Amino acid sequence: SMAINIQNHYAVAVVTLAAPESLNALTIPDLVELRDSLRQLQDDEQVRCIVMTGEGAKSFCTGVNLRDTMPPEGLFVKNNFLGSAADAGRDGYTRLVDLSDLEIWKPMIAAINGYCLGGGLELAMQCDLRIASETASFGLPEDKVASVPAAGGVQQLLRAIPAAHAMKLALTGDRIDAASALRMGLVSDVTPAEDLLSEALSVAERIAANGPLAVQAVKRLALETSHLAPREYIAQSNLHWGLLRDSADRIEGRRAFAEKRAANFEGR
């Protein structure tokens, strides 16, 4: 399938969700392809930052496209003990939207160009930064159809924005526009539609210019230690600082600073 397109801009990989006929709702094969692609990008030493966006101006992603899913076979509890790939073919598609098992430590930026709803918002919230077009809109509409966000959407929203806004969105299923998302802190920037990708690439390139091992360590600290008590997360921060201290990049960073020049990091 060609629903997941990848283009490299130097050290930045742009992952485009390209299923415009379904407003970029992703089928099970699309989600499997997205997961495989992200895993390959994590292991590609040339790639230092990932931008995820949707094809066309209308939609970033509207979640999972269920056109090919049959009514579930077998017990949910039995399938739940299967690996996520095996479960996906048996109605466990929601587990494919959770990217945490992929261990993507390279920063991911969501460039959001339209509808960002349900599972699409869950994907965007798993990105480290979100930049929106003026045409973007956001929502978790699951309870409007008597369901709940299955890939951590409620909890992600509570971590991303103040609880009053998060709970209002999650309980009403309401959609908000880009200006509201910016005011709440759900996105860091709002741009005119035509500037969205260039703005996302600009931020990605600034990230890609930094020490790549350090950038991944920052993400790992953010994701793996934020729930710890201060004493424990400070210990983890110091451990990662020590891991990086003797790297060639760290030495290059010091030299570049002393010589008042841009550093040339190699990820070693």
> What is the tens place of the pLDDT at every residue in 187-224?
999 999 999 999 999 999 999 999 999 999 999 999 99
Judged against a pLDDT cut of 90, whether residue 14 lies above it is answered with yes
Distance CA 210, CA 267 (A): 10
Residue 82: which pLDDT band, with cuts at 50, 70 and 90? confident
Judged against a pLDDT cut of 60, whether residue 88 lies above it is answered with yes
Indicate the range of 27-41, 53-67, 88-102, 157-171 predicted with least confidence: 88-102
Distance CA 173, CA 120 (A): 14
First vs last C-alpha separation in the chain: 35
**β-pairing verdict for 59-61 and 12-17:** unpaired
Confidence (pLDDT) at 79: 76
**Is 205 in the active site?**
no
Confidence (pLDDT) at 89: 64
**Is 224 in the active site?**
no
What is the mean pLDDT of the segment spanning 14-32?
93
HSE, CB side, 13 Å, CA atoms: give it for residue 83.
Answer: 4
Q: At 199, is the secondary structure helix, strand, or coil?
A: helix
- Of the listed 21, 55, 142, 194, which one is catalytic? 142
E runs forming strands in the chain: 4-9, 12-17, 49-54, 59-61, 108-112, 115-117, 129-133, 137-139, 176-177, 189-191
Judged against a pLDDT cut of 80, whether residue 92 lies above it is answered with no
Confidence (pLDDT) at 231: 96
- Of the listed 122, 252, 259, 266, which one is catalytic? 122
